[in-house]
Amino acid sequence: MSKDRASTSAKLSRRGLLVGAAASPLAAIALPAAAETRPSEPVDHVNLNMEVPFYGSGGQAGVETPPQRYIHFMTFDLTTVNPRDLQVLLARWSAAIAQMAKGETIGQVEPAREHGIGFDTGEALDLGPASLTVTVGLGPEVFSERLGLAAMKPQFLRELEHLPSDAFLPQFTGGDLSLQACADDPQVAYHAIRDLARIAKDTGAASTRWTVMGFGRASAGRNQATPRNLLGYKDGTRNIAEPEDFDRFVWTRDDPVWGGMGSYQVARKIKMHIENWDVDRVSDQNNVFGRFKVSGAPLTGTDEFDTPDFGKTDAEGNHVIPRTSHISLAAHENNDGIKILRRSYNYTEGINEVGLLSAGLLFISYQNDPAHFERLQQRLGAADRLNEYISHIGSAIFFVPPAPEEGHYIGQQMFG
Amino acid sequence: MTRTLTSKMPLPLAVALAGFLGAGAALAEEAPVENGASQVAITLTGDDGGSCVLDYDSAKAGPVTFSVTNETATALTEVELLNENRILGEKENLAPGLPTVSFTVTLGGGDYQVYCPGAGTEQVAFAVTGAPAPKPTGGVTAILAEGTEGYGNYVDGMVDAMVTAVDRLKADIDAGDLDKAKEDYAAARPFYERIESDVEGFIMPGFDVTSNEGNLDYLIDMRESNLDPAVGWHGFHAIERDLFGKGEITDETKDMAAELQTNVTHLAEVAKGLDFMPEDLANGAASLLEEVQSGKISGEEEAFSHYDLVDFAGNVEGAEQAFAFLQPGMEEIDPELTKQVNDQFAKVKVLLEDYRDPNAPGGYVIYTAELRASDAAKLSRAIQSLQEPLSTIAEKVATAQ
């Protein structure tokens, strides 16, 4: 844009509007390189026979595990004030998850008794384990006085503070328990949630609250190529991958008192204004993210993994990566070094009530202090150019306890 | 007597006679030239549900000054001079009792229309005799450049009108007149909506670009769904909440109205005289349609007053104006696309007609939950069909030789 005559004379700056023209020639240069695959870039193979063990001595599976292709995420409300009911639920969930992760059923599918009702619903038979993980989270209300578990509360577990641009719909918000089922086959993930929800009903401890089915993992794990969100951009390039960063940013150490190697899970349902995005010019799209669309390279580079140069300015003194672009606001360099693990998925659920595609991102992050998420979203919610095309419509927070050893169950230490 | 006489009279004489009789009817006589410009008076009255009357319906090519007086028309608040859908000049915020206002435009020979939205007869033909306006020379880029200049004038007119409308809203609020404030809120909204894509994004001196504290768009037009708790709620929609949600004017409302007046005045200062490139017009039109999709059709924009259709029409008008000023150039570049976009604009406008209500604040029916449930998908689809072809224009005009 070149319409800043008046703004210059009035000593006003315009948010990022001036960068489009400067970025276009760069795009032309960067595009040819984009088509080439880097020799070191990992190639993803899906093996539906892979198993991810549920039991262990570290963090729960489904956090550090490289993201599978599909997710079914569901939250639950507690329907009991008796801690014993919750204990039974967590124990039965744990045993069931361990079996399903091995590709086994959790009970009879077709009972021999004429009037018998199948315990396992059966739709995952013959599909293999497909790297299924189910990660269990505990919401703030689990540790309220009414269940007598207040003393067991993880140090930082609380509702998230109100953040800029939060526009929640109550039906996509909150929950006392969460289940994050991920697998390389969508039906395997669906089956896991469906059968675990049956167990919740059976114990009388919890009922379903809100859910999202997702596809096309939208963030990369170790040795995975960076995937794309529904806006067509690689948005997980600088995700946490190294074990040192997991120790530093993801896993809790002495929190809660009953066991470290937990993590705080933040889940946000983010609606995307798909139709508007699709008719936005590519130079603007690139400026919104701060990256080139095809290559994923930062606007100051040519390769996806080039380190963004947030200080670089063009001839007119404008930042080449706009300061209100998504990557600039989210970058650890600009946030006192803070990093969070992102483990997000794309979702779609048809057409909404006003005739627009209903789709977006199920954003899930893990961090050892929810304030780290708040710190980043504070800035993103206030100034991110992407906010024109997205709305945060759902939100919930959970504590993910460590994985249980075999013969034990998730959260067992809480019950004394 | 009159009937017999006029039937035998040559037509020009009959019309001239009618003029002498003081009937105020239009004359087939050219407007007199004074101070180097043809002088045309436009009078708005409440007759026939609102009418707009010209004292002369033609002028010589060259500068023409239109002086607009609203005598008794409470429902008519604006007058526009149109040529092929472009607004060449206009006056808004007209009301009985206000002083006469005028605008001057230089016109080439051809057919024009004086448009008075809401009048019994909305369009009055106006002819200019003499040489047509010279076509710009130097090819498409020159034609486009002329369009951007015309569009710049349009934006200047809008920011002026916005300041006036906000002044009036503030006066209502200061006077504690809730009903009038609600009406004038509706009257003030469209100006911002028509040019939003040109005036959003200004940061006041001394503020960081990532902070909303100095972001004029935030301070003027932020909705509840995008609030920044650190900065709080300001501007039109915070006032809307008080007027329509709480149904009262408090000291805080008065403070917010004063702040809004300061901020729109500041915005008008910096927005005036912006230079536009052809692609700015195209991109601006596209982002106004994005605004329709993301805020109006969902009913999110006017969550308390439900005046969303007023804003909807404002966004569409702003987009249409931006396109209209590109159109002469676009005819050269891609006539087929031009026709396609025009057809889609026409469809959207026909659709909007169904929601017009001259007696409603802002001129459109209230966007109720029921109306949204029954009509939102239809409105959204019409906008989508316009968004797709319109989005391809920026590149065409930016790369035109």
Q: How many A/B residue pairs have CB atoms within 8 Å?
A: 124
Q: What is the pLDDT of residues A104-120, one digit of tens each?
A: 999 899 988 888 889 99
- Give the C-alpha separation, B251 to B114, whole Å: 42
Residue B250, CA distances (Å) to B173, B223, B304, B312 in order: 9, 20, 17, 29
Tell me the residue type at A252: T
Please tell me whether residue B266 adopts helix, strand or coil conformation.
helix
In the stretch 198-257 of chain A, residues with CB closer than 8 A to chain B read none
The answer to the question of residue B3 being in a domain is no
Give yes or no: residues B110 and B224 share one domain: no
| Cα B49 to chain centroid, rounded | 21
The answer to the question of residue B157 being in a domain is yes
Q: Does A25 touch chain B (CB under 8 A)?
A: no
- Chain B's closest residue to A380, CA to CA, is B210
In the numeric block, the tokens 């013969």 are attached to A407
Q: Residue B294 and residue A273: Cβ atoms within 8 Å?
A: yes
Kindly write down the DSSP assignment for every residue of B121-137, as one continuous string.
S-EEEEEEESSPPPPPS
- Chain B's closest residue to A283, CA to CA, is B395
Q: CB within 8 A of B208, min separation 6: which ones?
A: B214
Res B367 pLDDT > 80:
yes
Res A279 pLDDT > 70:
yes
Helix (H) or strand (E) holding A358, with range, is strand A357-367
- Give the C-alpha separation, A162 to B199, whole Å: 29
Q: CB within 8 A of B355, min separation 6: which ones?
A: B309, B364, B365
The answer to the question of residue B26 being in a domain is no
Res B159 pLDDT > 70:
yes
- Give the C-alpha separation, B6 to B2, whole Å: 6
Q: What is the mean pLDDT of chain B?
A: 89
Residue A94, CA distances (Å) to A136, A137, A196, A216 in order: 9, 12, 10, 27
What is the predicted pLDDT for the residue at B28?
57
- Give the C-alpha separation, A413 to A278, whole Å: 50
The answer to the question of residue B21 being in a domain is no
Q: What is the pLDDT of residues A190-248, one digit of tens each?
A: 999 999 999 999 999 999 999 999 999 999 999 899 999 999 999 889 999 999 999 99
Contact A366, A340 (CB under 8 A): yes
The confidence band for B85, taking pLDDT boundaries of 50, 70 and 90, is confident
Give yes or no: residues B55 and B106 share one domain: yes
Give yes or no: residues B393 and B319 share one domain: yes
Q: How long, in residues, is chain B?
A: 401
The confidence band for A31, taking pLDDT boundaries of 50, 70 and 90, is very low
- Give the C-alpha separation, A188 to A182, whole Å: 8
> Of B280, B293, B312, B341, which to mutate for an interface test with A (greatest number of A Cβ within 10 Å)?
B293
Please tell me whether residue B124 adopts helix, strand or coil conformation.
strand
Query: What tokens appear for A253 in the block?
Result: 């150490």
Q: Residue A355 and residue B275: Cβ atoms within 8 Å?
A: no
Helix (H) or strand (E) holding B164, with range, is helix B140-174
Q: Which of B129, B155, B173 is the last residue of a domain?
A: B129
Integer distance in angstroms from the first to the last C-alpha of chain A? Answer: 65
- Give the C-alpha separation, B51 to B69, whole Å: 12
| pTM reported for the whole predicted model | 0.82
Question: How deeply is A219 buried, as exposed, middle or buried, from its count of CB atoms within 10 A (0-12, 13-18, 19+)?
Answer: buried
What is the predicted pLDDT for the residue at A43?
74
Q: What is the pLDDT of residues A345-392, one digit of tens each?
A: 999 999 998 999 999 999 999 999 999 999 999 999 999 999 999 999
- Give the C-alpha separation, A19 to A317, whole Å: 10
* E runs forming strands in A219-353: 263-272, 341-342, 345-351
- Give the C-alpha separation, B309 to B321, whole Å: 18
Name the pairing type of β-strands B110-115 and B123-129: antiparallel
The answer to the question of residue B19 being in a domain is no
Please tell me whether residue B145 adopts helix, strand or coil conformation.
helix
Least confident window among A25-34, A286-295, B271-280, B352-361: A25-34
The confidence band for A41, taking pLDDT boundaries of 50, 70 and 90, is low
- Give the C-alpha separation, B24 to B56, whole Å: 10
The confidence band for A32, taking pLDDT boundaries of 50, 70 and 90, is very low
Query: What tokens appear for A158 in the block?
Result: 């609380």
Residue A330, CA distances (Å) to A160, A189, A345, A367, A368 in order: 18, 30, 18, 15, 17
Q: Which of B129, B160, B183 is the last residue of a domain?
A: B129
CA-closest candidate to residue B280, choices B143, B136, B192, B397: B397
Residue A120, CA distances (Å) to A91, A111, A203, A205, B206 in order: 17, 10, 16, 19, 64
Give yes or no: residues B105 and B157 share one domain: no
The angle formed by the CA atoms of residues A28, A279 and A269, to the nearest 5 degrees, is: 105
Contact B164, B138 (CB under 8 A): no
Segment B390-396 shows an average pLDDT of 91
Query: What tokens appear for A151 in the block?
Result: 């003393």
Structural domain count, chain B:
2
Q: Residue A355 and residue B381: Cβ atoms within 8 Å?
A: yes
Q: Does B202 touch chain A (CB under 8 A)?
A: yes
Give yes or no: residues B95 and B119 share one domain: yes
Contact A218, A226 (CB under 8 A): no
Tell me the residue type at A398: F
The answer to the question of residue B294 being in a domain is yes
Ramachandran assignment for A295, one of left (phi > 0), alpha (psi -120 to 50 degrees), beta (any other): alpha
Res A23 pLDDT > 80:
no
Give yes or no: residues B108 and B217 share one domain: no
Selecting from B225, B271, B380 the residue whose C-beta is nearest the C-beta of A354 gives B380
- Chain B's closest residue to A275, CA to CA, is B384
Query: What tokens appear for A302 in the block?
Result: 């040519």
Query: What tokens appear for A157 in the block?
Result: 């577990």
Q: Which residues of B touch A355 (CB under 8 A)?
A: 376-378, 380-381, 384
The angle formed by the CA atoms of residues B261, B265 and B271, to the nearest 5 degrees, is: 140
Q: Which of B101, B129, B157 is the last residue of a domain?
A: B129
Give yes or no: residues B245 and B391 share one domain: yes
CA-closest candidate to residue B345, choices B365, B306, B371, B315: B315
In the numeric block, the tokens 């006056």 are attached to B91
Q: Does B211 touch chain A (CB under 8 A)?
A: yes
Q: Residue A2 and residue B211: Cβ atoms within 8 Å?
A: no
**Helices (DSSP H) in B175-214: which residue ranges?**
178-199
Contact A55, A403 (CB under 8 A): yes
In the stretch 343-372 of chain A, residues with CB closer than 8 A to chain B read 353-356
Q: Hey, which residues does B213 pair with through a beta bridge?
A: none
Q: What is the pLDDT of residues A122-170, one digit of tens each?
A: 999 999 999 999 999 999 999 999 999 999 999 999 999 999 999 999 9
Q: Which residues of A touch B280 (CB under 8 A)?
A: 1-3
Q: Does A24 touch chain B (CB under 8 A)?
A: no
What is the predicted pLDDT for the residue at B359?
87
Give the domain range for residue B349.
139-400
Backbone angles phi, psi at A178, to 5 degrees: -130, 150
**Helices (DSSP H) in A136-220: which residue ranges?**
186-203
Contact B363, B314 (CB under 8 A): no
What is the predicted pLDDT for the residue at A345?
98
Q: Which residues of A touch B232 (CB under 8 A)?
A: none
Q: What is the mean pLDDT of chain A?
A: 90
Give yes or no: residues B180 and B144 share one domain: yes
Question: How deeply is A413 buried, as exposed, middle or buried, from its count of CB atoms within 10 A (0-12, 13-18, 19+)?
Answer: middle
What is the predicted pLDDT for the residue at A52?
97
The angle formed by the CA atoms of residues B105, B111 and B117, to the nearest 5 degrees, is: 75
Q: Residue A6 and residue B394: Cβ atoms within 8 Å?
A: no
Tell me the residue type at A320: V
Q: Which residues of B touch A17 (CB under 8 A)?
A: 201
- Give the C-alpha separation, B68 to B52, whole Å: 10
Segment B294-299 shows an average pLDDT of 92
Please tell me whether residue B98 adopts helix, strand or coil conformation.
coil
The confidence band for B3, taking pLDDT boundaries of 50, 70 and 90, is very low
The answer to the question of residue B11 being in a domain is no
Give yes or no: residues B193 and B70 share one domain: no
Please tell me whether residue B288 adopts helix, strand or coil conformation.
helix
In the stretch 292-351 of chain B, residues with CB closer than 8 A to chain A read 293-294, 297-298
Give yes or no: residues B121 and B157 share one domain: no
Q: Does A7 touch chain B (CB under 8 A)?
A: yes
Within 10 Å of residue B169's Cβ, how many Cβ atoms?
27
Res A329 pLDDT > 90:
yes
Give yes or no: residues B175 and B76 share one domain: no
Q: Does B230 touch chain A (CB under 8 A)?
A: yes
- Chain B's closest residue to A273, CA to CA, is B294
Find the CATH number of the domain harbouring B93.
2.60.40.420
The answer to the question of residue B28 being in a domain is no
Q: Residue B212 and residue A383: Cβ atoms within 8 Å?
A: yes
Give yes or no: residues B174 and B120 share one domain: no
Find the CATH number of the domain harbouring B387.
1.20.1420.20
The confidence band for B234, taking pLDDT boundaries of 50, 70 and 90, is very high
CA-closest candidate to residue A280, choices B346, B376, B310, B294: B294
